[in-house]
Amino acid sequence: MATVYIMQEINPLAAACVCASLVLFFVAAVSPRMGLFVLLLVAAYSDLLKRMLVFWGSLSFEQVSYVLAAGPLVVAGLFVAVITRWAFHRVEIRKRDVLLVLAIGGVMAVNFFLSKRGHAETLEAMKDAANRGLYLMAAPIALKILEEPAEIEKFVRMARLWFIPVAAYGIFQSIFGLADFEIEYLKSGLTIMVKELWDVRPKPFSTLNSAGTFGTLTAAFAVMALYPLVVKSRQRVLLGEKCLSIGLFLLYLAASVVSMVRASLVVWIVALIGLWCFGSRLRTRVFYWAAGASFAALLAASPYLLDHLAEWDPAANAQSEFAGQALRLQTYSERLKGFVNLTRSTEMYSLFGLPEDKKMTETTYNHDPISSLLVDAGIVGLGVAATVLVVGLRFLHKRLLGLPSGPNRDLAVLLIAIDTGWLASHLLFHGVLTSFPVNLFFWLFAGMAGFLLLWTEPEAPETAPDSAASPEPRWARAPQTRPALVHAAKRS
**251 has a pLDDT exceeding 50:** yes
How confident is the model at residue 235, as a pLDDT?
65
Q: How confident is the model at residue 54 (pLDDT cuts 50, 70, 90)?
A: confident
When mean pLDDT is compared across 87-96, 148-157, 240-249, 287-296, the lowest value belongs to 87-96
Q: How confident is the model at residue 254 (pLDDT cuts 50, 70, 90)?
A: very high
State the angle between helix axes of 12-30 and 32-51 in degrees (0 to 180), rounded to the nearest 10: 170
- Mean pLDDT, all residues of the chain: 80
User: CA 292, 293, 299: angle at the middle one, nearest 5?
Assistant: 90
**Nearest Cα to Cα of residue 233 among 275, 270, 191:** 275
C-alpha 99/C-alpha 91 separation (Å) is: 17
C-alpha 12/C-alpha 148 separation (Å) is: 41
Whole-model pTM: value is 0.85
Q: How confident is the model at residue 324 (pLDDT cuts 50, 70, 90)?
A: low
How confident is the model at residue 466, as a pLDDT?
45
**479 has a pLDDT exceeding 80:** no
When mean pLDDT is compared across 33-42, 164-173, 328-337, 456-465, the lowest value belongs to 456-465
Which among 41-45, 366-370, 403-407 has the top mean pLDDT? 41-45
- Across 467-487, average pLDDT: 42
Higher pLDDT residue, 4 or 63? 63
User: CA 255, 257, 260: angle at the middle one, nearest 5?
Assistant: 110
Higher pLDDT residue, 10 or 216? 216
The pLDDT tens digits for 144-176 are 888 888 899 899 989 999 999 999 999 999 888
C-alpha 154/C-alpha 426 separation (Å) is: 28
How confident is the model at residue 124, as a pLDDT?
67
Q: Is 131 helix (H, G, I), strand (E, B) or coil?
A: helix
How confident is the model at residue 444, as a pLDDT?
92
Q: How confident is the model at residue 357 (pLDDT cuts 50, 70, 90)?
A: confident
| Domain regions of the chain by residue span | 1-145, 147-454
C-alpha 349/C-alpha 364 separation (Å) is: 9
Residue 338 · residue 365 · CB < 8 Å: yes
Q: How confident is the model at residue 363 (pLDDT cuts 50, 70, 90)?
A: confident
- Across 361-375, average pLDDT: 80
DSSP states of 399-442 as a string?
HHHHSPSSHHHHHHHHHHHHHHHHHHHHHHHSSSTTSTTHHHHH
Half-sphere exposure of 300 (CA within 13 A, CB side): 6
* Dihedral sign (CA 347, 351, 354, 360): positive
Q: Is 113 helix (H, G, I), strand (E, B) or coil?
A: helix
How confident is the model at residue 477, as a pLDDT?
39
Q: Of all residues in the chain, what percent carry a pLDDT higher than 70?
A: 80
Q: Which amino acid is at 486?
A: V
Q: Distance between the two ends of the chain, CA-based, in angstroms? A: 81
